[in-house]
Amino acid sequence: MEKEEVVDYIVNLFLEKGGDLYGGEAVTQLEHGLQAAHFAKEAEASDELITAALIHDIGHLLHDLPDNATEQGVDDVHEELGAQFLTTYFKKEVVEAVKLHVTAKRYLCLVEPGYYDTLSPTSKSSLLLQGGIMKGVEKSNFENFEYFKEAVKLRKWDDMAKDPELKVASIDTYKATIQNALT
């Protein structure tokens, strides 16, 4: 795909498949991604990190599992599926932040007192399927990843992006941002 085709493909994917509720949350997949991107933009993040925030859960839209896979005890490994797709088209910062955003949740549960208590019930359930709270030996391994700090930022925006009342810009406003994050 050409750059413009990649942008259109992603926008259309979110418009066509992003209308389903995000797991057990009160927002859709599309709303969740837009809210995460909104928080990244407010933090004056790079185009790469704003794009990662917008599409961090693209893996949920690429598999054929039911929306309630977590409730059925299935880890859809959406971060891996998303990163595999993104690797072909996006800069490393985008790919790695998406790939590590689940690990960042496990990490924050270990290093940030009270973080676990802020997670939604759905996020707590998926945490168990994703390996649970990180163990001490995993901490230093995670901190050695080149983009671990970006993944932690993304994770925090991810956690905030579950407000059914929050109004944000449409996905079309992010087309140039997405294009800037392509390789």
Percentage of residues in the chain with pLDDT exceeding 70? 90
d(CA 51, CA 8): 14
Cβ count within 10 A of residue 173: 12
Domain ranges for the chain = 3-157+169-180
- Three-class SS state of 21: strand
> Residues 24-41: pLDDT tens digits?
778 999 999 999 999 999
Q: Tell me the one-letter amino acid at 138.
A: E
Q: Looking at domain 3-157+169-180, which of 1.10.1060.10, 1.10.600.10, 1.10.3210.10, 3.40.630.10 is its CATH number?
A: 1.10.3210.10
Q: What does the pLDDT look like over 109-168, one tens digit per residue?
A: 999 999 999 998 888 888 888 889 999 889 999 999 999 999 999 999 999 999 999 999
pTM comes to 0.90
User: What is the Cα–Cα distance from 4 to 145, expressed in whole angstroms?
Assistant: 30
